[in-house]
C-alpha cells in the first residue's frame, strides 16, 4: 500500500534545505515552485503575493509564461486567486474554467490547464498571498495533496513575513504586510498608548508527533505538569498579586485546571496511544477547543481562554520555548496584541513596560480586561483581525478613548497622537492641581463628586482623583472573578478592606448585580432570549434570598461601628424594596441577638434604572434614604436601545429632550420628598453631559476616577443658575428643534467653560 505521507515529508525536507541555501529571493522562489511541481506531479506551480494596494502579483511560476512574472495581477476577490485570498480558504477544482469566478489572464498562457488547486498563504490567519498548482487533465486533488500544499504555504508565509521578498518588489510598492491599518473595536479601558507591537503568540507548533519511548514521554509530562503547578503557586505567592486580591481568584482557577485529574488522564492516554507529550497536549487542547468554540455562553468561552492559556503554558514547559520576548528584547513601550489571553499571562509581562492591550476577543468583564484596567492601561477589545495584521515591533497606537487601533501609522497620524498624549499629560497635571479645591460652582452651588469602583485596585484612585467618596461600588466583580461562590467570611473581609482603604470616606455598596451578561461560574441560569430584561440583579436576589441575606450579613459585619450605605439594583416596583428591607431587618435582628456590633448609621437606597419607577417616584422616595440613577440602563430601557448593539446604540442622544426631561422629573421628586438623589452612570463622566446634569438640578454625581478632574474644572467655571434658566427653557419649549447638545456646546463656549 502506498504511503501517502511520504511525498509531503520529502517535499518539506527539500524546502527546508532550499530555505537554508544562500540564494537570492527570486531564485529561491523559482526553485521552490519547481520543487513543488515536481513533488506533486503538477504541470504548473505559481506563487501570488498580496501587495498593500490590494493587488495579487505573480511572483514566481513553473509552467506558466515566465514573462508574466511581476506583470500578471489580480485584485483581491478577482478570479480564483483573488477569491482564495479574500476568503482565506482553498479551492480544489477539476475544471477551473467552469467556475464562475474564473478570470483569464492571457499573458500567463494558463488556458490549457483544467484542474486547479489553490491555497492561501496564511500567517496568523491573515492571507499574504496564494499558492497554486494546475494540471491539464481534469482531476480532483486528494486530501493529502491539499494538506501538503497548505503546509508548504506556511514556508512561503515566513518568506513574506521576514521581508525577504521586499528585494524583488517593484520600486514604490509595498507588500500588504507593511501597509498602515486602522481597526475599530470596543473601548474596554480609557487612555492612549503609543508603542510597538508585542504579539502574544503562546501557541507552539508541534512537529514531532510520534513517540519512541512511551514511559519517557509520560515522565516528561509529569515533570512539565509539576513545573507548571509550581509556577502558578509562585505567582499566587508574589507580593503584588497577594495585595491585589482580585488576581488571586483568577490564578486559583488556573490552579484548579492544572490539578484536574480528568485532563491529566486524557493526556496520559494520548501518550500511551503513541503521541509525544507535546502532541498529546495539542491533541487534547484541540479536541476541547473544538467542543467549546461553538458555544455562545460567555462564561464557558472565558473558561476556554483560561484552558487555552494553561495548555499553552504546558506546551512551553515541554518544548522549552519562551513565547515572550526576553527582558532585554522587550520594548520599553510595548503594546500587547492578542487574539485572546488569560489574565495570568498579562501579569507575566513586565508591567512597567506595557503601554496598552489589544484583543480580538474578550469582553469588558473578562478576567484579562479586569486586570488590564487595574494596571491603568488603555484596552481596545473586539479588534477584528488585529493579530493577523500585526507583526512584532510594528509601530502601533491604541486609542482607548475612541476605541481605535492604528498599526504602522503614517507620520502625520503619529505626530498628531504624540501631541494628543502631551496635551493629556498637561491636562492631567492641571486636574491634579484641582484635587484639593472645593467643588463650588461660580454661583456657589456645592457639588458632591464621587467615583465608581468595584475592585480593591480601584481604591488608590480615590485620593489621587480628589473624589469625596465612592458613589457606586459594584460588589458583583468580586463574584465574577472567583471560581467558587465567595463565602460570607470572604465577603466580609473584602468589604472591611474596602472601608479601611477609603479612610472613612463614604462608600455606597450596590448589592449583587449578576445575571444577564454578567455571568458567574458557579451560578448557572437558563439561557434567556433577552437577558438584559431577564432574571438578573434584585429579581435573582429575591428569588434566592439566602444569597442576598449572606451579602447583607457580610456587609453589616464589615461596617460594624461605621456608617454604611447600600443600594439595590434593577428595582422595578417599590414592593421589591419592602421585601428586601425585611430581609435586611432579619439580619440586623440576628446580629443584635448574637451581641455583634452593628453599623453606627445605615442608609438604604435604590438604583433607578427601570422606567416603571418613574410612575412610582413619590412612593419610592418615601421608602428609601436615597436614590441613585443608573443612567446607562435607564437610557437603554427608556429609549428601547441596546447599548451593546453598534447599529442602534448611538441612534438617540442622552442629551436629547426626552431623556433630560426624565432625569429632571427624578430630581424634582427628590426635592419635594427631601430625598437625596445622585447619578452614577456614564453621563457623569463627560464634562458636557455632567454640566447638563447640574443644569437640571443634580448636586451629586459619581463617575470614573479619571473624570473627576475634568468635571471639577468644568463646574468651577459654571454659573449653575444661569445654565438652569437656559436649559429648562429649552426643555419646556415643545416647538424648538434646536438640539439641546448644541445649546450646551454654545453655552459652554460663550461662558468660557472647559468641556
Rounded-to-10 torsion of CA 727, 731, 732, 735: 120
Is 680 catalytic? The answer is yes
Contacts of 222 (CB under 8 A, 6+ apart): none
Contacts of 556 (CB under 8 A, 6+ apart): 564, 587, 588, 591, 598, 599
Q: Say which DSSP state 141 is in.
A: P
Alpha-carbon distances, residue 144 vs 7, 62, 150, 540 (angstroms): 9, 21, 10, 54
Q: How far apart are CA 538 and CA 541, in angstroms?
A: 5
Residue 218 belongs to what H/E stretch?
Answer: helix 214-237
Query: Cβ distance 450 to 678 under 8 Å?
Result: yes
Q: Say which DSSP state 331 is in.
A: -
Q: How far apart are CA 139 and CA 169, in angstroms?
A: 34
Is 367 catalytic? The answer is yes
Q: How far apart are CA 337 and CA 360, in angstroms?
A: 8
> Which residue is listed with cell 459594584?
474
CB atoms within 10 A of CB 484: 14
HEC string of 662-729 equals: HHHHHHHHHHHHCCCEEECCHHHHCHHHHHHHHHCCCCEEEECHHHHHHHHHHHHCCCHHHHHHHHHH
CB atoms within 10 A of CB 713: 20
Cell of 484: 467558587
Q: How far apart are CA 568 and CA 556, in angstroms?
A: 15
Cell of 605: 437606597
Q: Of 200, 247, 305, 367, which is the active-site residue?
A: 367
Q: Say which DSSP state 446 is in.
A: B
> Which residue is listed with cell 467556475?
99
Q: How far apart are CA 380 and CA 187, in angstroms?
A: 5
Sign of CA dihedral 553, 558, 560, 564: negative
Strands 192-199, 334-338: pairing is: parallel
Residue 72 burial class via C-beta count within 10 angstroms: exposed 0-12, middle 13-18, buried 19 and up: buried
Q: Of 45, 406, 461, 680, which is the active-site residue?
A: 680
Query: Cβ distance 416 to 397 under 8 Å?
Result: no
Q: How far apart are CA 285 and CA 154, in angstroms?
A: 22
Q: How far apart are CA 86 and CA 127, in angstroms?
A: 8
Residue 472 belongs to what H/E stretch?
Answer: strand 470-474
Active site (catalytic) residues? 367, 680
Amino acid at each position: 500500500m502506498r504511503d501517502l505521507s511520504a511525498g509531503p515529508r520529502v517535499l518539506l525536507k527539500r524546502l527546508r534545505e532550499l530555505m537554508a541555501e544562500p540564494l537570492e529571493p527570486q531564485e529561491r522562489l523559482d526553485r521552490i515552485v519547481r520543487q513543488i511541481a515536481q513533488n506533486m506531479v503538477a504541470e504548473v506551480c505559481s506563487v501570488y503575493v498580496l501587495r498593500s494596494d490590494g493587488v495579487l502579483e505573480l511572483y514566481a511560476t513553473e509552467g506558466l509564461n515566465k514573462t508574466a512574472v511581476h506583470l500578471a495581477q489580480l485584485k483581491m476577490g478577482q478570479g480564483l486567486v483573488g477569491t482564495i485570498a479574500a476568503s482565506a480558504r482553498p479551492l480544489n477544482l477539476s475544471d477551473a474554467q467552469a467556475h464562475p469566478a474564473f478570470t483569464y489572464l492571457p499573458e500567463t498562457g494558463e488556458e490549457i490547464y483544467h484542474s486547479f488547486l489553490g491555497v492561501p498563504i496564511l500567517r496568523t490567519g491573515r492571507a499574504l498571498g496564494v499558492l497554486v498548482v494546475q494540471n491539464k487533465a481534469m482531476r480532483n486533488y486528494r486530501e493529502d495533496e491539499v494538506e501538503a500544499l497548505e503546509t508548504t504555504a506556511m514556508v512561503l508565509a515566513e518568506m513574506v513575513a521576514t521581508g525577504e521578498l521586499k528585494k524583488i518588489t517593484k520600486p514604490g510598492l509595498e507588500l500588504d504586510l507593511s501597509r498602515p491599518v486602522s481597526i475599530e473595536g470596543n473601548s474596554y479601558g480609557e487612555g492612549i498608548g503609543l508603542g510597538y507591537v508585542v504579539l502574544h503568540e503562546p501557541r507552539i507548533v508541534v512537529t514531532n508527533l510520534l513517540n519512541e519511548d512511551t514511559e519517557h514521554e509520560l515522565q516528561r509530562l509529569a515533570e512539565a505538569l509539576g513545573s507548571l503547578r509550581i509556577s502558578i503557586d509562585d505567582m499566587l505567592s508574589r507580593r503584588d498579586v497577594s495585595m491585589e486580591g482580585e488576581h488571586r481568584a483568577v490564578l486559583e482557577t488556573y490552579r484548579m485546571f492544572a490539578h484536574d485529574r480528568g485532563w491529566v488522564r486524557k493526556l496520559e492516554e494520548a501518550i500511551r496511544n503513541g503521541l509525544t507529550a507535546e502532541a498529546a497536549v495539542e491533541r487534547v487542547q484541540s479536541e476541547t477547543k473544538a467542543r467549546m468554540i461553538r458555544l455562545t455562553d460567555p462564561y464557558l468561552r472565558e473558561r476556554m481562554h483560561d484552558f487555552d492559556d494553561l495548555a499553552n503554558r504546558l506546551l512551553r514547559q515541554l518544548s522549552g520555548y519562551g513565547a515572550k520576548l526576553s527582558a532585554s528584547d522587550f520594548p520599553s513601550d510595548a503594546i500587547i496584541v492578542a487574539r485572546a489571553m488569560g489574565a495570568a499571562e498579562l501579569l507575566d509581562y513586565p508591567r512597567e513596560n506595557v503601554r496598552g492591550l489589544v484583543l480580538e476577543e474578550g469582553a469588558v468583564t473578562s478576567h484579562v480586561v479586569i486586570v488590564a484596567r487595574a494596571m491603568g492601561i488603555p484596552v481596545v477589545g473586539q479588534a477584528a483581525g488585529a493579530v493577523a495584521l500585526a507583526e512584532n515591533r510594528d509601530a502601533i497606537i491604541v486609542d482607548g478613548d475612541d476605541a481605535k487601533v492604528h498599526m504602522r501609522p503614517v507620520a502625520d497620524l503619529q505626530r498628531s497622537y504624540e501631541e494628543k498624549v502631551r496635551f493629556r499629560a498637561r491636562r492631567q497635571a492641571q486636574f491634579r492641581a484641582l484635587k484639593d479645591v472645593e467643588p463650588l460652582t461660580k454661583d456657589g452651588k456645592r457639588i458632591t463628586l464621587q467615583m465608581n469602583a468595584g475592585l480593591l485596585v480601584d481604591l488608590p484612585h480615590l485620593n489621587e482623583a480628589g473624589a469625596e467618596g465612592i458613589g457606586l461600588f459594584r460588589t458583583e466583580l468580586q463574584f465574577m472573578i472567583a471560581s467558587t461562590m465567595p463565602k460570607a467570611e470572604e465577603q466580609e473581609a473584602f468589604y472591611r478592606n474596602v472601608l479601611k482603604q477609603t479612610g472613612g470616606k463614604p462608600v455606597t455598596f450596590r448589592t449583587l448585580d449578576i445575571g444577564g451578561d454578567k455571568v458567574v461560574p458557579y451560578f448557572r441560569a437558563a439561557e434567556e432570549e433577552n437577558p438584559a430584561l431577564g432574571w438578573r440583579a434584585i429579581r435573582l436576589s429575591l428569588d434566592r434570598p439566602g444569597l442576598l441575606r449572606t451579602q447583607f450579613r457580610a456587609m453589616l459585619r464589615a461596617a460594624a461601628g461605621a456608617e454604611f450605605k447600600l443600594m439595590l439594583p434593577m428595582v422595578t416596583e417599590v414592593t421589591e424594596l419592602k421585601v428586601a428591607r425585611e430581609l435586611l431587618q432579619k439580619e440586623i435582628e440576628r446580629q443584635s441577638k448574637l451581641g455583634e456590633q452593628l453599623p453606627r448609621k445605615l442608609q438604604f437606597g435604590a438604583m433607578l434604572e427601570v422606567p416603571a419607577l418613574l410612575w412610582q417616584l413619590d412612593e419610592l422616595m418615601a421608602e428609601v434614604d436615597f436614590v441613585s440613577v443608573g443612567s446607562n440602563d435607564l437610557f437603554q430601557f427608556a429609549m428601547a436601545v441596546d447599548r451593546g448593539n453598534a447599529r442602534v446604540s448611538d441612534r438617540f442622544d442622552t442629551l436629547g429632550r426626552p431623556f433630560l426631561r426624565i432625569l429632571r422629573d427624578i430630581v424634582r421628586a427628590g426635592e419635594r420628598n427631601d430625598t437625596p438623589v445622585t447619578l452614577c452612570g456614564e453621563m457623569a463622566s463627560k464634562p458636557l453631559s455632567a454640566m447638563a446634569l447640574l443644569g437640571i438640578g443634580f448636586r451629586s454625581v459619581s463617575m470614573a476616577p479619571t473624570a473627576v478632574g475634568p468635571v471639577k474644572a468644568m463646574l468651577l467655571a459654571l454659573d449653575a443658575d444661569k445654565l438652569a434658566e437656559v436649559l429648562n427653557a429649552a426643555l419646556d419649549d415643545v416647538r424648538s428643534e434646536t438640539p439641546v447638545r448644541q445649546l450646551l456646546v454654545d453655552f459652554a463656549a460663550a461662558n468660557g467653560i472647559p468641556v
